[in-house]
Chains A and B, each alone.
Chain A
């Protein structure tokens, strides 16, 4: 039996050797790395493979395919060198994972190296880097093995003494495992070395600056649902998100979900001594002007939400020109740009925050969120409640439970198309008929209904009563 096994192992090693030689054809530098490996293990073909002969030869074949024509000699050799270094330091890198990372980051050895260097929690498999090379935080796409759910894995970079406060802040201020329909699901997991990772649900669709609301309904729901999340954060958790903007709002089915709590903190940590953080595009005037927070920082989030909705409808942020590029924080033009924004907020407010560009049904509410004076702004609760009342006709979330529902406008349109006519309606069970009538009256009397929708509701009631 042992002879058979050793035969299989020899066969496997031969395939692995063939795979490596195939990769070596990439060029001289890659060939040199392969040679280096061989030189380090000259004695036996069976032992030259790091990890021994039990390696998966199919995994190696997959790696050969992953190094496609988007990889050149240099980048390939960098990946192999990093792999060897990892193995030499005693870290086990699975070849199937390496093949997946190589395929996910074509021509980018640094990103593959980030994946190799990460020791994720045991139950998580890393698929690719999402963002964060060079920043404080590395963000990966992964799979939660047991649940087979796609997740976002966040790890803080830097020396342990620098990382710890960041972790503390994020984990203490993050509304972890909050069961809220408009806040992202998230958990903290530890890896084998005890390092904490933030694991969030993966939302495949995230808004961006170029995201536009198709009609009033989408904008109304964005406003209501994110206000719903902010009201919860502000009142139940005493937290200020601090960075509300399109790219921090994802979609779970048809619901908007607030995410990225990296700046989120208890309200009392945003003080007059705290430097302004979060995106400039949605930074409120009081923070732009003072570069610090007022005593009451909650209105910061409300303005940022107003600015996000303004952009979704108008195509630019309130104090920005269309497609205006924000210089990076280390670029010399940054200071001048911030100064220009301050000038717009102080001297050209009406020109930039042009509320006439908004649709009638949303103008009043967005105006209340974009008040220049934070004290005059609606609170998140005020914004949510007014939206629940004034925009009821458009809302797809139940104002009480947050559960998904049909918006009255959608429902009326569907009923006008599909509700039968004549005798069929007449023969409906009496109780059902009363139910339909009650519902149609309620729909007709919904606040914020467009005149067309109101007419539709009246026609449906006539159809029912005439049957």
Chain B
């Protein structure tokens, strides 16, 4: 298929993004329903409840990640000219593939990604049934046995073969460009690729996903924290040999990159502290989770979920979805349910009340209590006392009027395949957590698996404004 030589898109973070030759396939893929759906899923979930500018979608983030992937790909091709065989260096195909994989890394997310996955799908979802419903072969489900729901859906969407022209556009377009391309992208997202170090850029401590969202989310939220020098980060990236000499890894020039990698890690941490884990946002997210949990409970009890859209109702009643149904899901499905329930006469009081509170932004408030004390409280199985303490203030079932929130941030991954590296002048790579000059180490609270990775675990408890004193009395 003939390709346009160059396509340009203006972006609020990266400025003029240019896609050349084979890379222009990224732009073509934007027209597929699988990618278009991401326009209606907000990148930052409910963060716009606090930061009104944070309304950008996963669509623009995915495009930004694809562009950053191209930038890294070109850099790694150039910088490896003198120390890697040409057969191990990124080529036009692999840079294109990396960009496509980055573009598609989020296509499996459901509405309000995390609440959907935790409350609607559930952590113990029936993998075999979902695999069957989504058309993923059992042999592939075996490879996806530890994957999250959205990763399985993403895998399925890339491999979606259908005789119906309205379905499987992404897969079809990829195959039209090159037979076997969709499968190669699926494999790349699982970590297997013929340029063995490239998948590390899709899922690692320093990857193209984070490289884009840290800057984009900070800019959209309007905060000044999440900034780092992306240009310098890219220009210092290289490929090194691990100490055992049996792996090629993406890393950063240790003579030049220590501070920018540090800046990157700190920028992410700052975003978590100030935006993603903002108490009001966590409160709203917790209330959406309670609302969905309540609907699921009602469905289990056989209550007809009349005000809830069909696709959501199907999942809440324990059914799996086909790809055709998944593709129709976006944030609006949840908000339609919220609006529908809020105005439903005679529907469950608890659900109606939660929905009305969400629409009027009447959010739960944080109970004043030390994080450690909350931890002890939960561990001592004293949480049964909470509904009892607040029931007098609750218009509905008190079990749906409080929520524990545990926020955790791993600064560095414990999985070796996700590590970032510093690379010395002899191209030897060393994991960044072993580099003493990285002053960010001082910010870690503890060590896990021998590696400095856990930064923080914050526990918070939210409830109705009027119930707060009762809980504070109970806890303190």
Contacts and interface: CB of A to CB of B under 8 A. Distances in A.
Interface of A: 254, 404, 406, 410-411, 414-415, 417-420, 423-425, 427-429, 431-432, 435-436, 439
A238 B248 CA distance: 48
Nearest to B183: A427
A406 B85 contact: yes
A435 to B, nearest CB: 8
Interface stretch (B56-64, B87-95, B303-311, B334-342): B87-95
Identify whether the interface residues of A are mostly helix, strand, loop, or mixed: helix
B91 to A, nearest CB: 6
B219 interface: no
Contact of B194 (A254, A406, A410, A432): A432
A420 B194 contact: yes
A431 B178 CA distance: 11
A404 to B, nearest CB: 6
B87 A436 contact: yes
B324 interface: no
B87 A419 contact: yes
B132 interface: no
B193 A432 contact: no
B230 to A, nearest CB: 28
B187 interface: yes
A425 B82 contact: no
Given A417-B245, A423-B192, A428-B194, 10 more contacts: A404-B82, A406-B86, A410-B85, A418-B248, A419-B87, A420-B194, A427-B184, A427-B194, A432-B91, A439-B87
Interface string B85-122: 11110010100000000000000000000000000000
B82 A424 contact: no
B84 interface: yes
Contacts of B247: 418
Contacts of A435: 87
B180 A427 contact: yes
Interface of B: 82, 84-88, 91, 93, 178, 180, 183-184, 187, 192-194, 196, 245-248
A415 B178 contact: no
Contacts of B183: 427
A435 B88 CA distance: 12
Contacts of A417: 245-246
Contacts of A411: 85, 87
Contacts of B82: 254, 404
Contacts of A410: 85
Nearest to A460: B87
Contacts of B192: 420, 423-424
A404 B88 CA distance: 17
Contacts of B248: 418
A427 B187 CA distance: 9
Contacts of B93: 429, 431-432
Q: Which of A427, A435, A439 has the most CB of B within 10 A?
A: A427
B248 to A, nearest CB: 5
Contacts of B91: 432
A417 B194 CA distance: 13
A447 B92 CA distance: 30
Contacts of A427: 180, 183-184, 187, 194
Contacts of A404: 82
Nearest to B185: A427
Nearest to B96: A429
A431 B245 CA distance: 29
A300 B193 CA distance: 54
A414 B85 contact: yes
13 contacts: A404-B82, A406-B86, A410-B85, A411-B87, A414-B84, A415-B88, A419-B87, A420-B196, A424-B194, A424-B196, A432-B91, A432-B194, A436-B87
A415 B194 CA distance: 12
B85 A415 contact: yes
Nearest to B91: A432
A405 B94 CA distance: 22
Contacts of A254: 82
